Amino acid sequence: MELDLKFEQLIKGQVQYKSANLGLNLLISRLQRRYTAKQTPEELKSCLQEMKAFIEKYNLLLAKDIEEIKRL
């Protein structure tokens, strides 16, 4: 659950993270723009679901990034 909080902070722009993985950087910036345009609990939930799905799909490639995000 701590990762959910970090993802929420990333999407809201409260913390910054730059990955060596271009796909993750693009996802984060796109979700930040989407949430900024429509700051509702439903939109945040949708963004969090998309972020979690991406992380689950590519968790082997993103293991280092996941650990770094946890330390933010």
Q: What is the pLDDT of residues 7-27, one digit of tens each?
A: 999 999 999 999 999 999 999
Confidence category of residue 44, pLDDT binned at 50, 70, 90: very high
Give the number of domains in the chain: 1
**Which CA distances in Å does 40 have to 12, 44, 45, 51, 58?**
11, 6, 9, 17, 27
Q: What is the C-alpha separation between 28 and 18, in angstroms, rounded?
A: 9
Q: Give pTM, 2 decimals.
A: 0.93
* Percent of the chain residues past pLDDT 90, beyond the cut: 96
Max CA pair span of the chain: 32
Q: What is the pLDDT of residue 15?
A: 96
User: H/E element holding 54?
Assistant: helix 41-57
Confidence category of residue 1, pLDDT binned at 50, 70, 90: confident
**Domain that residue 59 falls in:** 2-70
Q: What is the pLDDT of residue 41?
A: 97
